[in-house]
């Protein structure tokens, strides 16, 4: 009887040890680093592992900027924003001239935040977006 009990306890102990090892492996996998830092000039392994530098394709088009940032408000009229394509809403704004529209877009106006909340847009991209909206709203 003692031998049977010893064999059963040994079996349970081995099973528990295996389960514990499995849990520890899962924990190690979850907390493993996701990457490594490689300083330019250091040999960090293969050249394929070197990060590719993003090539600038130049400024985005007015439509691309509109789609990425401006449409959030100007597609539905959020907070009184004139809806693109609504000639009646845009006419008085267009009559003020591009300089005023650009100033309002860059610096904010009423509920519109500065740069239309597009912090990564250049001035040229903001102007292109304004021109795109004006062209679509005349």
Q: Are residues 18 and 73 in the same domain?
A: no
Per-residue pLDDT of the chain (138 residues), as tens digits, is 777 766 666 666 656 556 566 788 888 888 888 888 888 888 877 544 445 445 567 899 999 999 999 999 999 999 999 999 999 999 999 999 999 999 999 999 999 999 988 989 999 999 999 999 999 999
**Overall domain count for the chain:** 2
| Residue pair 71/99 in contact by the 8 Å Cβ criterion | no
84 located within any domain: yes
43 located within any domain: no
Please give the residue range of the domain that contains residue 105: 62-136
Question: Closest Cα to residue 137, out of 69, 81, 88?
Answer: 88
Kindly report the pTM of this predicted structure: 0.60
Q: Could you give phi then psi for residue 112, rounded to 5 degrees? A: -80, 125
Q: What is the largest CA-CA distance in the chain?
A: 100
Q: Are residues 72 and 116 in the same domain?
A: yes
Q: Are residues 17 and 75 in the same domain?
A: no
Question: Closest Cα to residue 44, out of 54, 52, 36?
Answer: 36
């Amino acid at each position: 009887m003692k031998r049977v009990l010893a064999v059963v306890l040994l079996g349970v102990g081995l099973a528990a040890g295996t389960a514990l090892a499995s849990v520890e492996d899962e924990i190690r996998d979850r907390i493993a680093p996701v990457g490594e830092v490689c300083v330019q000039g250091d040999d960090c392994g293969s050249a394929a592992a070197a990060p590719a530098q993003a090539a600038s394709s130049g400024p985005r088009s007015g439509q691309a900027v509109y789609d990425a940032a401006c449409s959030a408000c100007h597609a539905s009229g959020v907070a009184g924003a004139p809806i693109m394509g609504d000639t009646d809403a845009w006419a008085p704004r267009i009559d003020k001239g591009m300089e005023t529209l650009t100033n309002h877009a860059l610096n904010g106006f009423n509920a519109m935040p500065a740069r239309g909340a597009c912090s990564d847009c250049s001035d040229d991209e903001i102007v292109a977006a304004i021109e795109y909206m004006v062209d679509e709203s005349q």
